[in-house]
Amino acid sequence: MTSQPPGTRLHRWLATRMDRATFAALIEPTIADLQHEVEAAGDRPWPRRLAIARGYAAVLRVLAGHGFAWGGVLRRWGVVAAMGLAGALLMTWSQALHSEARITRSAFVFPMLLTPLVLRLSGAAAAFRPLMRAAIAAGMLMCLFGQGTVFIPGATVVLNIVRFVVLFLIVAFFASVGVSAAAVPHTFFQARRRQSIVAALAAASAAACVVLLRQAIVGPYEPRTLVAMTPFFVTFLAVVQLPAFFVTFIVSAVMSRATVALTLVGALCFPISTLVAARFDGGGISEVVGYLRFQPVLLLWHGLPFLIGGAVFGWMLARPIRAVQVAQPVVG
């Protein structure tokens, strides 16, 4: 058996996973130092062990200090771990406060939808497969830490397998939805626009967190105060509203060329979703009208994520539409 100097396997492993420039500038010389120190220690066991320990500690210090900023793989799995753990915290928190399914589902789904977008924006991954793998990993981390272990100790093996498969399918489904949103190769999802989408989703998420916090402070869940405020419902209703939004927007775009005007149209389109949400919440038409008349502050509060989302979409769409208008001027 040929003996390899210590650090050879680590060198080989990191070589394929790290950014080439970082690897050559930082990791390679640190491993070279480790190997030379061990060689200098000769056959004496304790100095040799000490040199190995010091060498690996130096590699770890370099990786901890500088690997995250430069290493694609480390950054990717750092994001996955952060999203998985943040999602697990959000799930545990929501489950401790509520038995309301919308909130717990939102807490489960939202981090998974967000993971691929965060990965794209941070530059940690761009291709479909790595995004998919990372989103699924974040989802499974959430299952592991947010719902106890993926396997229930007391249950039968078959039940555990079924539970795991169901969880995995849910995770895979929502991961693929998020990845599709993040990986669409179209100018619509250029960096700045993706950032806008993430900002709108983050605003919705922050609003939901504020509501959860308020519930934790002021008391039990009141059904009507949480209409449409959970991130999942914000995302879901925004998707449902898009066709209606597009029609209104395109009609407005024919009549106006100003970006600001089109942005305002976008912002005004989306509170419609709040009314749909109020209807979803079990109220009849008269209750929705009453809600509009007597709860204007709540209406504004509930519509805020949609307002932000609408403005963002309006602004995003205004420029390409204007570009088309410039290319094909409206006759009139």
Binding-site ranges for other proteins (CB under 8 A):
4-5, 7, 11, 25-26, 28-33, 35-39, 54, 57-58, 61-62, 64-66
Whichever of 43 and 222 has its CB closer to other proteins, that residue is: 43
Whichever of 59 and 181 has its CB closer to other proteins, that residue is: 59
Whichever of 54 and 319 has its CB closer to other proteins, that residue is: 54
The per-residue DSSP string of 13-26 comes to HHHTTS-HHHIIII
For the CB of residue 283, give the shortest distance to other proteins in the complex, in Å.
Answer: 54
Cβ-based neighbour number of residue 236 at 10 Å? 19
For the CB of residue 74, give the shortest distance to other proteins in the complex, in Å.
Answer: 15
Q: Which of 174, 171, 77 is nearest to 124 (CA)?
A: 77
For the CB of residue 26, give the shortest distance to other proteins in the complex, in Å.
Answer: 5
For the CB of residue 73, give the shortest distance to other proteins in the complex, in Å.
Answer: 19
- What distance in Å separates the CA atoms of residue 114 and residue 194, rounded to the nearest whole number? 11
- What distance in Å separates the CA atoms of residue 214 and residue 2, rounded to the nearest whole number? 65
Whichever of 36 and 319 has its CB closer to other proteins, that residue is: 36
Whichever of 30 and 205 has its CB closer to other proteins, that residue is: 30
- What distance in Å separates the CA atoms of residue 312 and residue 322, rounded to the nearest whole number? 16
**Would you call 189 exposed, middle or buried from its count of C-beta atoms within 10 A (0-12, 13-18, 19+)?**
middle
For the CB of residue 34, give the shortest distance to other proteins in the complex, in Å.
Answer: 8
Residues 27, 11: contact at Cβ < 8 Å? yes
Buried b (16+ CB within 10 A) or exposed e, 62-82: bbeeebeeebbbbbbbebbee
Whichever of 64 and 152 has its CB closer to other proteins, that residue is: 64
For the CB of residue 192, give the shortest distance to other proteins in the complex, in Å.
Answer: 18
295 token code pair: 């709860």
Residues 228, 274: contact at Cβ < 8 Å? yes
